[in-house]
Structure 1
Amino acid sequence: MRFHEDVFVAGVGTYRPDVVSTAFAVGASWYDPADREASGMESVMVARDLPGPDMAVRAAEVAVRRSGHDRDDFGALLHTATHHQGPDGWSAPHYVLRNTLDRPITAVQVGPGCLGSLAALESAAYRLLGNPEHDAVLLTCGDNFGTPLVDRWRASKLFLLADGGAAAVVSRRAGFARVLAFGAVSNPSMEELHRGGEKRFPPGITIGRSLNFEERSAYWREQWAQGVAPPMGHFGDVVAETVEHTLGEAGLALDKVARICHSGYTRGALESIYLDPLGIDDTRGTWELTRTLGHAGAADPFIGLEHVWTRGEVVPGDHVLLLCAGPGMETDCVVLEIVAPYEPAKEG
């Protein structure tokens, strides 16, 4: 969908904890040396015992300050989480709200998984266009994967799970990036790939089953060997269709896009799912950043956007794609036009 009325990203902020090098992980026998070599990954963000919602709060403080908005301008907070946030039955979005805007407004959690931040951006834009009562919506996300039931180094060969937080302010008034279009394409026939034969009830986490995508991939390899075809489709085709559709809505060609802020995948997955289907090389994306950080769930596109904007790698007139692939299987894409440069003098 193309947005014919003005909607902006007014502020973006991140919380990036210290990194652990993949060389150290190999030395500690956490990470297989061959997997490290194939991945191209240099390091991964690890937050130790800092909860995901607290990383979201720290990122939000930066995004709100940069936005120029007062707390009373906000009509909603949309929070995204890829991993468990705290006590079962507790509301992480309202914890983030209490420790940021502290206003009596709605706070909800958006998913699924890594797509949540862009789905939240779309929802925020619709809210602002449909309800003129408030001028801004705060988007937050934060995850800590350092829990007993997750092995960040071995859960998937497609990515290394990273801790971190990110936030953005969506505004109807002004901002540094204008939102031109949003698009999403899914192939629900492939949803089974992320189930891998697991029972839907009771949920695995409630009986101590770990998050392990490699086990689910092994299940489908076994099924294939027994003559049972797995769900067919190539995720890269979904990515290419999403980008083509969204750029068409924005009236742009891919060669007019300065940078693509994508998920923090390993080298092979990045090429297979993003780069090759789009016919681009890694310099158009954020590989040199993501290979040092890992895959921080829904925070990835905002981490990339902050990086290229604050470093002056995109300037007014440039176009940026925010691009996420997630479970479902679905890809979401946002087209932005940079309309204001980063001004570090205003950071104080």
Structure 2
Amino acid sequence: MSGMAVAAPPGERLRLDHNERLFPAPELVRLLSQVPASALTRYPEAAGLEAALGEAWDLDADRVLLTAGADDAIDRVCRRWLADGREMITVTPTFEMIPAFATLAGGRVRSIPTLDDPAPLGPILDRIGERTGLVGVISPHNPTGTVAPVERILAIADSLPANAALLVDLAYVEFADRDPTRELLQRDNILVVRTLSKAWGLAGLRTGFVLGPAAAIGDLRAGGAPFPLAGPSIWLAERALALGDRVTATYVAAVRREREQLVSALLVSGAEPFESQANFVLASTDRAAALYRGFRRRGIAIRRFPNFPDLVRITLPGDEATFRHLLRVLDMTVGHIS
């Protein structure tokens, strides 16, 4: 286990069900004691962090909005584009907060049931009409980890009516083979949602952001709380960005190696894993319930889906010792239920 691992309380399970980074980057842990007192006493100022994010993507700061995690970003987008019962088009299953926020905003969700494609072009185009306010695409997708080709995402954007937008959630993109952010931002009807929660390991800071056209970002800024992030979160996020690859590179490389190995192990066990480019692997197996129970008995939490009883999803730890333990538990569990 990493020397900078945070010890779990006695009896707490190893959490491989929430797609979190288990162990923080040592460089960031050392910074915790340096958070200035002013970050506690003053109302937070996000302009510096938004400028740094804009610089990373060659954007003016008015094209960047800092949000309280990707959830806050999705909520604002839904409230802006789905008022008066306008429609959102998205696949199902998907990240549960997308249809939830769409419904809360008063929108109507038009779902496309599929596990095979996070952005099926034909079915999406068939559903686009005058009531379309938003199309939602996650790539890599949650829960499958599969990727939507950038050319297809751009084709969807080109097919939208003038008053509609395309929400592209790239929460897991650091783990993928290709980052389409710059290409997507060439369109004036695409909003890119990103986060520091996954590859950066800062889920507890709730640091998300939206990139898009200045006018749309202005609308989103006006549609939410003026101080979405706490001062310590902003201070630490600024320093994480300055450290760059020192925070993400080793962890992302480890996740990619583990992903290959876990796919192989799941295939040997008789499961059918999806082609993930995220920090998790989803697999289909008629022994999903038994796997879930077996992992739980051995102290590891993995994810099941009530509406899809044959699916299990396992987060990749990005840590060699923890991953070896995961493989041992998989082998023991499969042997026990065979």
TM norm structure 2:
0.23
More helix by share: 2
**Greater C-alpha Rg:** 2
